[in-house]
Amino acid sequence: MKSYLAVFIGGALGSLCRYAINMSAGSAWFPWPTFIENASGSLLLGLLTGFFSSRAKKPLIQLCLGTGFCGGYTTMSAFSKETALILQSAAPHNGVLYLVASLASGICLAFIGIVLGNRIGGQAGQKKERYTS
């Protein structure tokens, strides 16, 4: 039951953050809010993955932040809908640009996040060992 609650709380917070970004942005030919949410969410999930891979497991925190927050914050459905709508518009090349930019940035930022998370998690673990030894 604690696992479900952790995902619920994280998902609610992530969804609220996504909503705030969507409400603060104006309309444009490029869906910047969704792009920013998915790119920054990929980076954050990568950071969390790397950080927790080099440290003791904290399942409830990982569920809350990873599955919950990042799952509620990022949005595959909005990305898919926006891509389809742009591809059907008078400028379908913008849809291709959005598709490629979103996928490339998401994968690259997730990779960078994992590398940084491993470094941060490893360094924090080493400092903790020094002080407890």
Binding site feature residues for Na(+): 71, 74
**If 0-12 CB within 10 Å is exposed, 13-18 middle and 19+ buried, where does residue 48 land?**
buried
- Rounded to 5 degrees, φ, ψ at 95 are -65, -40
Binding site feature residues: 71, 74
